[in-house]
Chains A and B, each alone.
Chain A
Amino acid sequence: MAAGGPEEPLDTWSIRSIVTTMFPILLVLSLLEMGSGYVLEALEETYLSNPTLLVLVPVMIGMGGNLGAILSSRLSTRLHLGLLEFDPRDEVLWTNVLAIMGLAATIFSALGVAAWTVGQVVAEPMALADLMLISIVSGLLLAVIAIVLSIAATYISYTQGLDPDDTTIPVVTNVCDILGVIVLSGVAIVVLN
């Protein structure tokens, strides 16, 4: 039996402690997410008359954060190992940026094709060229944002003496979550008009 009996202090494992730590954070994040929800609601007509655009929404919400999380954890590990310099000529930095942009190009091209296919089957069809353009342009923009945020957040936590492992990933993933829908909506409006 690994866990202790009831006489051992439960400290940070009490229900009250977990809820009072988490709930305020969840509340603030939800309020911020309402900003991106507001964009969806404001563009309701565009989304509901082109339901295929809704197919892109969950990936747009999650993927920027995934890319940012990969880059942030790589940067902070390299930083801990002393292998990273915050210098525009630093090779490790550019290698990682190149890999992230390659991943984004692959994922968002595949998303464009997949959304087009889904549109043919369950939602209303949209032109393949429009969908590919919307998916790739907004995806690459999101990747650039994720890269800038990851580097900035790692640099700031480094100069402030914080451990980037604890700070960068939550900040980067949540900010990318919020910006995903906003970037998608902006690009979709430009392409469709």
Chain B
Amino acid sequence: MEARQDAWRIYRESLPILVVSLAGGIFAGSVLGSAGMTEGFERFPGLLLLLPAFLATRGNVYGAMGARISSGLHQGMIDPEFSWDRRLVNAVVASFINGIGISVVIAVLSWGILHALGRESARLVELVGIMLVSGVLTSVTLIFGLLGLVFASYKYGLDPDNLIGPIVTTLGDIFGVVFLFVAITVVGGIF
């Protein structure tokens, strides 16, 4: 019977954070399933191909930045506040380069794969434009949002290590698809 009680305890401890992540995912899914988004997927072939990479890489870019900042705070290498500290600025600039750079690379890969397979694809400039706009907006929001939350939790005595994973996934899901929607609308208006 003890094993069942232990399993129940693990269940109760883990459920709240999974429910938060579920809520973020359902919101993101609602945006993806909306008429405006599905029209975008039809109009720009290649977006569905790059969608999983776009949604998943952000966890890696900003999760890594969060883990670095958290270690830096624990080691006393940086202070928990926005400043022109060299380490902090470097970590932020590197995350911008990684986040925006990989978004553009994903657009080029998607275009290249469809062309190599002889399938219908949106124009390269359209896919790169959409990924550039959504990549820039997502980077700005996630980098500064994550820093603000990590600094605040550290000052309140919480260990950021336990919070970064769920924060990144939830913010990433929500803002990722919203800015993708914005980017499709903007680029759809230009071309």
The answer to whether A binds B is yes
Q: Does A168 belong to the interface (CB within 8 Å)?
A: no
**B contact residues around A91 at 8 Å (CB):** 3
Q: Is B182 an interface residue (CB 8 A)?
A: no
- B86 with A3: CB separation less than 8 A: yes
Neighbouring A residues of B22 by C-beta, 8 Å: 59, 63, 107, 110-111, 114
Contact with A along B3-27 (1 / 0, CB 8 A): 1101110110011001101101110
**B169, chain A: closest CB distance, angstroms:** 5
Could you say which interface size class chain A belongs to? Answer: 35 or more
- Interchain CB contact under 8 A, A40 and B29: no
Q: Is A162's beta carbon under 8 Å from chain B?
A: no
Q: Are A118 and B41 in contact (CB under 8 A)?
A: no
Q: Which residues of B contact A174 (CB under 8 A)?
A: 56, 60
Tell me the bound Cα distance from A26 to B61 in angstroms: 8
Task: Please report the C-alpha to C-alpha distance between residue A2 and residue B53 in the assembled complex, in whole angstroms.
Answer: 37
**Contacts A3-B79, A19-B98, A99-B7; is A59 near B14 (CB within 8 Å)?**
no
Q: What A residues does B57 contact at CB under 8 A?
A: 26, 29-30, 33
Tell whether, in the assembled complex, residue A59 and residue B26 are in contact, meaning their CB atoms are under 8 Å apart: yes
Total interface residues on B, using CB and 8 Å?
Answer: 73
State whether A51 touches B79 (Cβ < 8 A).
no
Give residues in B with beta carbon < 8 Å to A. Answer: 3-4, 6-8, 10-11, 14-15, 18-19, 21-22, 24-26, 28-30, 32-35, 37-38, 41-42, 45-46, 48-53, 55-57, 59-61, 64, 68, 72, 76-79, 85-88, 90-91, 93-95, 97-98, 101-102, 105-106, 109-110, 113-114, 119, 165-166, 169, 173, 177
Residues of A within 8 A of B (CB): 1-4, 6, 10, 13-15, 18-19, 22-23, 25-27, 29-31, 33-34, 36-38, 40-41, 44, 47-48, 51-59, 61-63, 65-67, 69-70, 74, 91, 94-96, 98-99, 102-103, 106-107, 110-111, 114-115, 118-119, 122-123, 173-174, 177-178, 181
Interface CB pairs A-B, < 8 A, 20:
A1-B79, A3-B77, A3-B85, A18-B91, A22-B60, A29-B53, A29-B56, A29-B57, A33-B53, A37-B50, A40-B49, A48-B42, A58-B26, A62-B173, A74-B10, A99-B7, A102-B7, A107-B19, A110-B19, A114-B22
